[in-house]
Amino acid sequence: MKREVREVQQEVQILKDKGEIEDFRLGHSAKHRTVNFLFRGAWYSTVFPSTPRTPYANNFVRQQIRRQIRRLQTI
């Protein structure tokens, strides 16, 4: 597993340990790597770059997941 993917996996594991998401899986679509996460019994996904363009890529993934959770909570 690439270093970038391991770092993203660690960030998402932290979200799971804090109880913000129930479970997660790393996968890939046709062009991008994805994080599939379980929230309130449904699976959602967000993409992340497979190559780190900045040292903040892991933080970006965590923010994307939290934004999506906030958006789902308002529904």
Question: From edge to edge, which strands make up the β-sheet containing 42-48?
Answer: 23-28, 33-39, 42-48
Q: What token pair was written down for 56?
A: 């903040």
Greater confidence, 2 or 47?
A: 47
**Considering just the CA atoms, what is the radius of gyration of the chain in Å?**
12
**For the whole prediction, is pTM greater than 0.75?**
yes
Q: Which runs of E-coded beta strand occur in the chain?
A: 23-28, 33-39, 42-48
Q: What angle do CA 22, 66, 45 make, to 5 degrees?
A: 65
- φ, ψ (nearest 5 deg) of residue 49: -70, 140
Q: Is the pLDDT of residue 1 over 70?
A: no
